[in-house]
Amino acid sequence: MLWQPSLRQAARTTGSATVLATATVVALLPNIFLGPFAGALVDRWSRRVVMIVADGVVALASAVLLVLFWRGTIQIWHVYVIMFVRAIGSTFHWPAMTASTPLMVPKEHLSRVAGLNQAIGGGVNIISPPLGALLLNLLPMYGIMAIDVVTAAFAITPLFFIPIPQPPRAAQTGSAAGSRPTLWADMGDGFHYVWNWPGLKAIILLSLLLNFLVDPPMALMPILVTQHFGGEALRLAWMNSSWGVGLVAGGLILSAWGGFRQRIVTTLVGVVGLGIGILLVGITPSSIFALALIGLFFGAVMNSMSNAALMALLQQVITPEMQGRVWALGSSLASAAMPLGLAIAGPLADIVGVRILYIVSGILYILLGIGALFVRAIMHIEDNHRAQAVVEG
């Protein structure tokens, strides 16, 4: 995203890594604490209006930052506040967008659309860093923020013309007949829906554990380069590029192929493949750097396919009027797990080394992916009769 250069500029001006760490935490807080509320509101309100307002808030926050840079009155705390506001917008936008997709895309094409989205996301990750660096050298910060505002306006405009179906509201367990349920009742129904569906609950818990295992190694990649692969900035760039290109390739492959008939099989095969890629990076000798690039590329391909297949699977089986709550709840839990994993992995890597962290994470990924193939609740989550029974129960 183009707002990231403002954070880099602040960090470069202060020379403090604390700025980056604090800003990262600030950007996570809204999703952690407001996610369940946002999901319930997304399912109550028009999802199209939610996306328009959320994107408008993000654009307005960028416009405020633009003015502050233009006037030369920017302070670090301004950046924190703006990032917090933007994160609130994202907390509402993402579940609204994800929950709207299955209402607009035929079920048989969900995997292809999800794969295409993964490819686009990977492409943005490749382009954004060099583009941000180039713009920092060509334009003042308020010029960069102006670009961000304009691109946000381009993103909002189509939403005024694209019809987005709204799912019917189901009967609520926490309200009297004929009365509008409270927000708390809607949130309770969302938790109840997940908790009483063994397959969905197992997949969410598995996803949290997998994110807990993979986020720290990826975040500590610069340390791996410094300690094991020679410490060259160019080598870190090559590793980041291998990962980004792999994400694009995996998304395009799934978009063209569509995956296995059972989407959960595609998901778990991707989990195992990502584990193999991470393990390969960990065991690569320092003299064979190309092998680490192959491992990252392969892992990213499998990660992209796994994520896209899982998103399409959940979009298909979760009842439409519950999707906002389920997506927001999962995103909130994942955001909470990320800093916890990093807090544990950092000191652990100092003790045993980053390579060991890659090796252990890769092995656990492989074991969890294979083990999930033998969990009946997970393997049968695509059974529409079971899904419908849960909804009606």
Condensed to tens digits (0 to 9), the pLDDT of residues 245-291 reads 999 999 999 999 999 989 999 999 999 999 999 999 999 998 999 99
Does residue 349 fall inside a structural domain?
yes
Does residue 228 fall inside a structural domain?
yes
> Is the domain of 149 the same as that of 210?
no
Q: How far is CA 36 from CA 25, 42, 159, 175, in A?
A: 18, 10, 24, 19
Does residue 16 fall inside a structural domain?
yes
pTM above 0.75, yes or no: yes
* Average pLDDT, integer, range 235-248: 89
> Is the domain of 144 the same as that of 198?
no
pLDDT on residue 19: 61
Q: Give the contacts of 216 (CB within 8 A, at least 6 positions apart).
A: 341, 342, 344, 345, 346, 349, 357, 361
Count of Cβ atoms closer than 10 Å to residue 343 Cβ: 11
> Is the domain of 276 the same as that of 382?
yes
Q: How many domains does the chain have?
A: 2
DSSP state of 105: S
Confidence of residue 178 (pLDDT cuts 50, 70, 90): low
State the amino acid at position 209 in one-letter form: L
> Is the domain of 313 the same as that of 265?
yes
> Is the domain of 235 the same as that of 356?
yes
State the amino acid at position 97 in one-letter form: M
Does residue 333 fall inside a structural domain?
yes
Please say if the pLDDT value at position 6 is more than 60: no
Confidence of residue 189 (pLDDT cuts 50, 70, 90): very high
Mutual orientation of helices 323-352 and 17-44 as an angle, nearest 10°?
160
pLDDT on residue 278: 95
Does residue 132 fall inside a structural domain?
no
Average the pLDDT over each of 63-77, 157-171, 299-313, 359-373 and give the range with the smallest value: 157-171
> Is the domain of 305 the same as that of 256?
yes
Q: What is the CATH number of the domain that holds 250?
A: 1.20.1250.20
State the amino acid at position 4 in one-letter form: Q
Does residue 168 fall inside a structural domain?
no
> Is the domain of 203 the same as that of 148?
no
Domain assignment of residue 342, given as a range: 183-392
| 301, HSE (Cβ side, Cα atoms, 13 Å) | 14
Count of Cβ atoms closer than 10 Å to residue 261 Cβ: 8
Name the nearest CA neighbour of 307 among 120, 86, 61, 100: 120
Q: To 5 degrees, how large is the angle CA 41–CA 29–CA 307?
A: 75
Residue by residue, DSSP assigns 317-384 as HS-GGGHHHHHHHHHHHHHHHHHHHHHHHHHHHHHH-HHHHHHHHHHHHHHHHHHHTT-HHHHTTT-H
> Is the domain of 316 the same as that of 356?
yes
> Is the domain of 151 the same as that of 189?
no
pLDDT mean across residues, the chain: 84
> Is the domain of 329 the same as that of 368?
yes
Torsion of CA 261, 267, 272, 273, to 10 degrees: 80
Measured CA to CA, the distance from residue 160 to residue 149 in angstroms comes to 17
